[in-house]
A = this chain, B = another copy of it.
């Protein structure tokens, strides 16, 4: 049917790519020549129906053509079969239809080879091209015949070379074991699952296009798994659970101690996280109606201790100088070596770390927020037990881990707790009455003394609540700039003992356990030390980079998405910045893991980021201690908050000692406390 004499004018919409092709050209070939990559799992066999396009009919004077179905060869048998399944018969298969006249072709998004999804980033919508490591390929294999000695595997390779121009492929034992059964079950038609055009992970009978992956963020406290469709990029299910290692230590250092002290410590922690991931994945697969054996890829991020424990590598060296990682680079390991219950040939990609104390989770945040691609100077802060800080733009980046301690997570705070149900997460203090209001996780409304008891009763206070309360205590004049409780102040919320005060945030009768929730002087000091360390680290890094401002602040992590950024800045926790340019991006590490799962180029980009970033060791910086001490007062600077300036109290001259307020002390008792209703 091919005759080179006549040329037809073809326009593909919505891209507008156009050109002339000879009469008889396959629509698929014309698209490829003009730069429109159509999806084709079956490589033109008319089986997968992925290359459906719509032919616009009519006069298109703007384009100077007339387009019509009659300008194509008649539908083939394969196309007619596809029409039976398709909703709209005006679609044609590009791999079947030959061009016999001018055409205006509409290509639906779903027929494009490299689909895009739009994902939300801090201050923008970013497109992500779907380019997974693993893809399905449909292939028809020559049947076994007497006198044909090559085995099924060799004939499959020959078919792949002929139909998909692929050679040098490898097959694993698991796929090889099912190969003969599969080929015969599919009547010599099979879908192979191919990884990076090299490894055949699986063989499945007939045409099948379901391939899935999991993106995992292993946090010290929380583990999150996103089950994704590797063809469409859609998130099918997200499951989260407490990291079971919490039972053996709240923070990274206590996990490392556990490994050091317990005979099977490493194995216990490793098995715990693997078991939890298997449970999360099974549950995600079930809720999405997906077979776990069709999950072929997994990307994992976490801090360096978490990724080491996940891989079963001892984190001991991370816990002691010189803090050497076993591997900083990205790692690619077989899922079954880790006893993960995915497809037996699935592999696990762990994103690289930046250094001993800045892990793949931070790199994933960078991948999601792309500070390394723009001109604006970004400050990315991921607050956890330590705060990981990255500053820079496309020309330079510096990263450091700031030894904040666990105060921001609610640890080492008198009534501190994790951000779980019952935790006070937001606090406001009336500057006149010094009376508090608070909001509790699990409740939509604010507590109000005038309203009586809150519907959900608090059990403690989490990180964002602590930031709030210390900032509010300062704004209400209860705390002095040096962090001491104002000794000149009279308030029935203040409780004094031996010169040391505490603020009663919730009366004993308000709480779930019948004990008052108080903020002590020691709690305030802990927050001062933590914010001082973070601020000093950022200041040093900016000095190293030779900049005196940042254009944008990105707060990552669950903590970052809950804190009140204005209060955090009042505390002097993060550097001054236009508040409109401060973004809380939630689980950006999980987003980064998902990005690396859906697009292999992003894995390469992650490794390039490692080379782009200069790691700064704050612990050994001579200037750190001075900067730290200078960053302890509340607030460090108010330049960014002209509207707050008049709200800020003047420093008190001297403390008044040995004041005991009976009303305040009474708040600690709850004589009428009844059992909570069951």
Contact = CB atoms under 8 A, between A and B. Distances in A.
Contact of A148 (B177, B322, B331): B322
A180 B266 CA distance: 14
Contacts of A313: 176-177, 180
Contact of A354 (B149, B324, B334): B149
Nearest to A149: B355
A152 B171 CA distance: 31
Contact of A152 (B172, B173, B325): B325
Contacts of A326: 151-153, 176-177, 179-180
Nearest to A333: B173
Interface stretch (A139-147, A578-586, A660-668): A139-147
Given A173-B333, A327-B154, A617 B146 contact: yes
A127 interface: no
A438 interface: no
Interface in A235-257: none
A151 B312 contact: no
Contacts of A355: 149
Interface in A104-160: 144-154
Given A181-B314, A317-B180, A328 B150 contact: yes
A356 interface: yes
Contact of A176 (B150, B331, B354): B331
A432 interface: no
Contacts of A174: 337
A321 interface: yes
A503 interface: no
B314 A152 contact: no
Contacts of A311: 173, 176-177
Given A326-B153, A328-B154, A337 B147 contact: no
B322 A149 contact: no
Interface string A176-194: 1101110000000000000
Contacts of A354: 149
A615 interface: yes
A333 to B, nearest CB: 5
A615 to B, nearest CB: 5
A614 to B, nearest CB: 9
A323 interface: yes
B333 A152 contact: no
Nearest to A170: B332
A414 B75 CA distance: 70
A329 interface: yes
B615 A149 contact: yes
Contacts of A154: 327-329
A271 to B, nearest CB: 14
A335 to B, nearest CB: 11
A99 B337 CA distance: 52
Contacts of A615: 147, 149
A173 B348 CA distance: 11
A317 B144 CA distance: 10
A672 B327 CA distance: 80
Interface string A322-366: 111111110101100110000000000000011110000000000
Contacts of A324: 144, 148, 151-152, 180
Nearest to A338: B173
Interface in A554-584: none
A515 to B, nearest CB: 44
A304 B427 CA distance: 75
A450 interface: no
A316 B179 CA distance: 12
A158 to B, nearest CB: 12
A620 interface: yes
A475 to B, nearest CB: 40
Interface string A30-73: 00000000000000000000000000000000000000000000
Contacts of A312: 173, 177
A149 B327 contact: no
A151 B325 contact: yes
Contact of A329 (B145, B147, B151, B329): B151
Contacts of A331: 176
A87 to B, nearest CB: 41
A322 B144 contact: yes
A314 B144 CA distance: 16
Interface in A430-481: none
A145 B321 CA distance: 8
Interface in A280-314: 311-314
Contact of A173 (B148, B337, B356): B337
Interface string A218-246: 00000000000000000000000000000
A403 to B, nearest CB: 14
Contacts of A617: 146-147
A317 B171 CA distance: 19
A94 to B, nearest CB: 35
A625 B154 CA distance: 32
B327 A151 contact: yes
A620 B149 contact: no
A148 to B, nearest CB: 7
9 contacts: A151-B327, A151-B329, A152-B317, A173-B337, A176-B311, A176-B327, A177-B311, A177-B314, A180-B316
Interface of A: 144-154, 171-174, 176-177, 179-181, 311-314, 316-317, 321-329, 331, 333-334, 337-338, 353-356, 615, 617, 620
A-B pairs with the 10 shortest C-beta distances?
Answer: A151-B325, A144-B324, A149-B355, A153-B327, A146-B322, A151-B328, A151-B327, A149-B615, A173-B333, A144-B322
